[in-house]
């Protein structure tokens, strides 16, 4: 009896130990094994996803047609899958490179595109680039979370600038009036396009000429010329007979507006002598001849130094043949004052008991003090005269 009871306790104890073993340790081991297995699977699948993500390679090319028909798509993005995996593109953004923001704050394309390995897929993106001007870049977002970008492109009103304007229209304006503003406005007709469509230029000299070039497509354009905001009348035009003038590219490449030449009226140059008021006998002194060209002058004037020197008349107490003049300013601009000549002269010794004398310097009126740079016309000058007192030196 005793032997049997002890055996039961031992058996129960063993049974409990076995139960503990099978209900805790074994499940724990199995659970940990399954967790480890799950973790390994997750790590592996993450690694596989990362490898797939890194393997993705998508190239974006932007293609624009130089066609100008608004109804047909002109810009498309080509997606080229150069990886061995199928790439699912979920979105395409169009980014404004200058501001760093998506154009329209929304994706350009918001539908899924599958690009099989080695394939090209072309999608039209006209809707999202419509009217956009600036530098843009397309970014494709793949299902695996990669971003692929295109090279930045320049767009003008929703079209690619490169190749958009294959022709050049040149507009020339001849004989502009100094100080006036000239505006060239170009109106494309039909499907034609041109850039820029308006340019304003201010003439800085009389009868100035300019030639401006505009990028354009084939087509017909009306070219308008305005002077200081007013359309130039045909009476003021030597050519063409109308304003605006119609130009059709590529048959004609330029438009030339020849304005009637503005007559240049010479103005009188103001001449002044700048000299000391008194000098000592026997002393050498300097005086200058100063020229002022009025602001009303239409052109620059070249100074005729020889004529001015020839017009100098000197009388009084001075030594003969001591006058020497050096040219300074070569050209006068409207509204400017310049020293034209710097001269030197020697006062004579006072004879007898005279304590004082005088020298009078006169520059006569000239008909050709200067010559107009553009017109070649002579510019007259007025007369000027000054008297210098000559004093006896002390101790003599």
Partner 1 sequence: MERDVPPHTNPRCGPRGKRGDTVILGEILLFAGVVTLGLALWGLSLGYVTSHSTKLTEDYDRFVSRQRGFLIVEAVSLQSNVVWVSNPGLNDAAIISCTIYPKTTPSPGIRYNVRGVIVEASSYRPTALIGCERFPGPPPYTVEVWYISAHLYNPQDPARNSMYALVARYEKG
Residue 84: CB minimum distance to partner 1, A: 19
- Of 157, 156, 166, 172, the C-alpha closest to 212 is 172
DSSP symbols for 1-16: -HHHHHHHHHHHHHHH
For residues 110 and 306, which CB has a smaller minimum distance to partner 1 in the complex?
A: 110
Nearby residues of 79 by Cβ (< 8 Å), 6 or more positions away: 58, 59, 60, 87, 89, 113, 115, 120, 121, 122, 123, 140
By CB under 8 A, residue 367 contacts partner 1: no
Binding piece for partner 1, criterion CB under 8 A, among 69-77, 105-113, 311-319, 383-391: 105-113
Q: Tell me which residue of 286, 289, 294 sits closest to 272, measured CA to CA.
A: 289
Q: Smallest distance, Å, CB 105 to partner 1?
A: 6
- Closest contact distance (angstroms) between CB of 126 and partner 1 is 20
Sheet of 356-363: strands edge to edge? 278-280, 384-391, 356-363, 312-316
- Of 86, 141, 199, 373, the one binding partner 1 by CB under 8 A: 141
Closest approach of partner 1 to the CB of residue 19, in Å: 6
Residue 202 near partner 1 by CB under 8 A: no
33 binds partner 1 (CB under 8 A): no
Shortest distance, position 29 Cβ to partner 1, whole Å: 10
- Closest by CA to 211, choosing from 223, 229, 228, 220, is 223
Q: How far is the CB of 124 from partner 1 (least distance, A)?
A: 20
Number of residues that bind partner 1 (CB under 8 A): 46
8 binds partner 1 (CB under 8 A): yes
Distances 33 to 47, 70, 357 between C-alpha atoms, Å? 21, 66, 130
| Cβ proximity of 95 and 139 under 8 Å | yes
User: Which of 57, 90, 181, 382 is the binder for partner 1 (CB under 8 A)?
Assistant: 90
Distance (Å, rounded) from C-alpha 396 to C-alpha 392? 8
Q: Using DSSP, how many helices (H) and how many strands (E) does the chain show?
A: 4, 32
Q: Does 42 bind partner 1 (CB under 8 A)?
A: yes
Q: Which of 58, 95, 128, 350 touches partner 1 (CB under 8 A)? A: 95
Among 80, 82, 107, 124, binds partner 1 (CB under 8 A): 107
Assess 27 for contact with partner 1 (CB under 8 A).
yes
C-alpha 144/C-alpha 238 separation (Å) is 69
DSSP string, 56-70: --EEEEEEE-----T
By CB under 8 A, residue 151 contacts partner 1: no
The residue (of 148 and 182) whose beta carbon lies closer to partner 1 is 148
Is 30 an interacting residue with respect to partner 1 (CB under 8 A)?
no
48 binds partner 1 (CB under 8 A): no
Q: Is 31 in the site for partner 1 (CB under 8 A)?
A: yes
Of 33, 39, 117, 166, the one binding partner 1 by CB under 8 A: 39
**34-68 as b/e, with b when 16 or more CB fall inside 10 Å?**
eeeeeeeeeeeeeeeeeebeeebebebebebeeeb
**What is the nearest approach in angstroms of partner 1 to the Cβ of residue 95?**
7
Segment interacting with partner 1, rule: CB under 8 A, options 100-108, 236-244, 304-312, 333-341: 100-108
- The residue to which tokens 């690009």 are assigned: 115
Q: Which residue has the tokens 């209900």?
A: 23
| Secondary structure (3-state) at 43 | helix
55 binds partner 1 (CB under 8 A): no
**Interface contacts to partner 1, rule CB under 8 A:** 1-2, 5-6, 8-10, 12-13, 16-17, 19-20, 23-25, 27-28, 31-32, 35, 38-39, 42-43, 45-46, 49, 90-91, 93, 95, 99-102, 105, 107, 110, 112, 139, 141, 143-145, 147
């Amino acid at each position: 009896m005793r032997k049997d009871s002890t055996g039961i306790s031992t058996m129960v104890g063993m049974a409990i130990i076995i139960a503990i073993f099978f209900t805790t340790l074994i499940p724990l081991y199995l659970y940990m094994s399954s967790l480890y297995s799950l973790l390994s699977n997750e790590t592996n699948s993450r690694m596989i996803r990362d490898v797939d993500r890194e393997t993705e390679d998508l190239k974006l090319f932007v293609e624009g047609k130089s066609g100008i028909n608004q109804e047909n798509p002109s810009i498309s993005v080509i997606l080229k899958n150069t990886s061995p995996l199928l790439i699912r593109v979920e979105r395409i953004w169009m980014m404004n490179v200058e501001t760093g923001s998506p154009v329209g704050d929304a994706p350009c394309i918001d539908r899924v595109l599958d690009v099989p390995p080695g394939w090209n897929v072309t999608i039209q993106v006209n809707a999202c680039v419509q009217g956009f001007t600036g530098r843009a870049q397309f970014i494709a977002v793949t299902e695996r979370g990669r971003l692929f970008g295109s090279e930045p492109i320049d767009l003008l009103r929703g079209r690619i600038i490169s190749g958009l304007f294959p022709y050049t229209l040149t507009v020339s304006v001849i004989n502009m009036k100094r100080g006036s503003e000239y505006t060239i406005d170009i109106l494309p007709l039909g499907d034609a396009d041109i850039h820029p469509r308006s340019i304003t230029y201010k003439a800085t000299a009389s009868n100035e000429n300019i030639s401006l070039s505009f990028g354009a497509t084939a087509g017909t354009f009306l070219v308008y010329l305005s002077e200081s905001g007013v359309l130039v009348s045909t009476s003021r035009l030597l050519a063409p007979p109308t304003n605006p003038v119609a130009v059709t590219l590529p048959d004609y490449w330029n438009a030339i507006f020849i304005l009637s030449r503005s007559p240049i009226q010479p103005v009188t140059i103001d001449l002044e002598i700048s000299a000391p008021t008194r000098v000592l006998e026997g002393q050498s002194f300097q005086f200058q001849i100063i020229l002022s060209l009025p602001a009303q002058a239409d052109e620059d004037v070249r100074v005729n130094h020889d004529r001015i020197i020839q017009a100098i008349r000197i009388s009084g107490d001075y030594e003969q043949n001591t006058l020497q003049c050096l040219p300074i300013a070569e050209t006068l601009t409207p509204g400017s004052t310049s020293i034209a000549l710097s001269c030197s002269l020697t006062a004579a010794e006072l004879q007898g008991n005279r304590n004082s004398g005088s020298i009078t310097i006169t520059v006569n009126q000239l008909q050709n003090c200067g010559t107009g740079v553009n017109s070649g016309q002579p510019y007259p000058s007025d007369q000027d005269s000054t008297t210098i007192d000559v004093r006896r030196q002390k101790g003599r």
